[in-house]
Amino acid sequence: MGQLRKIFNRLLGPVFAITVLLTSIFGGYIITLFSPVLFLNQHRLWRSLMDRAISFWIIVPMAFLRFLFGVSVKVTGDAIEGGKPAVILMNHRTRLDWMFLWLAVYKINPWLLTTSKYSLKAQLKMLPGAGFGMAAHHFIFLERNVEEDKKRLSEAVEYYSKVGGFYQVLIFPEGTDKTKHTTMRSTEYAKKNGFKELSYLLYPRAAGTAILITKMRECGYINCVYDVTVGYPDAIVQTELDLVKGKAPECVHFDIRRIDISEVPRTSSEIASWINS
């Protein structure tokens, strides 16, 4: 049975890629039909339409992952609450963590798909079709340049607060996924600074996280922080190419801990120390 699943997944991978590409391109065309709403300066209406439209499209890759690739998710701990702005901090084990998180938030509350905003590598904005959709969904694309990313994060938070939505914003404090190369760099950093070596995590790049939390505080737009740990008990599927090749984990675990914003330090340096603790 396991061998049949592997053969099926190898055939399924290219079908998944083509389906996501074609549906995202078609979805991009549909999005442009709503562009007059922006010219009429109806930003709240635009945001409401896009949040729902893109979330409906997200169900396409989700359906492939759950029902065809056979990926299941196990969610433990605190539930993410809708209707309250928050920051989601998550370790970055693979490049696909954010896709599997869709399955988790849907399991908690399907409406969370409309209010979950992700900060991702700027290169993902260039994905044909899907990149345009993620931009319309107002994901935050980061360049790994502190000054540029500070500007992008600040503009995004100001926009979220002005359009009246209550969003949960995902950021990866580690800044990149865990590979042999990034693990080696993290270990070197630990030795240089006298920190203990980490087996399952990378030492965070705290600047972006501190900027995000601080800006949301300034805007009065944060209720809590969710500390999310993702784990893969059976298989590590590291990249998008692995998924196209038909490789997929059988199960992904998410453990969620809610931290009230009153318990989070206020200064950037204190936030950085808090994240590393």
Query: What pLDDT, in 10s, does the model give residues 170-220?
Result: 999 999 999 999 999 999 988 888 888 888 999 988 899 999 999 999 999
Q: What is the pLDDT of residue 229?
A: 98
The helix/strand/coil state of 28 is helix
Contacts for 264 with CB less than 8 Å, ≥ 6 apart? 213, 225, 271, 274
Place of tokens 């809708």: 82
State how far the alpha carbon of 102 is from the alpha carbons of 8, 111, 221, 276, in Å: 23, 11, 23, 26
Taking a C-beta distance cutoff of 8 angstroms, is the pair 93, 239 a contact? no
Q: What is the pLDDT of residues 112-151, one digit of tens each?
A: 999 999 999 998 888 888 899 999 999 999 998 999 999 9
Return d(Cα 172, Cα 93) in angstroms, integer.
10
Please say if the pLDDT value at position 1 is more than 60. Answer: no
Q: What is the pLDDT of residue 254?
A: 99
Return d(Cα 67, Cα 69) in angstroms, integer.
6
Q: What is the pLDDT of residue 199?
A: 87
Phi, psi of 91 (to 5 degrees): -65, 155
Q: What is the pLDDT of residues 176-185, one digit of tens each?
A: 999 999 999 9
Pairing of strands 168-171, 72-77: unpaired
Return d(Cα 225, Cα 206) in angstroms, integer.
15
Q: What number is the average pLDDT over the span 61-68?
A: 96
CATH, domain range 2-276? 3.40.1130
Please report which residue ranges of the chain form alpha helices under DSSP H: 2-33, 36-39, 43-63, 97-108, 112-115, 130-136, 146-162, 180-193, 206-218, 240-244, 268-276
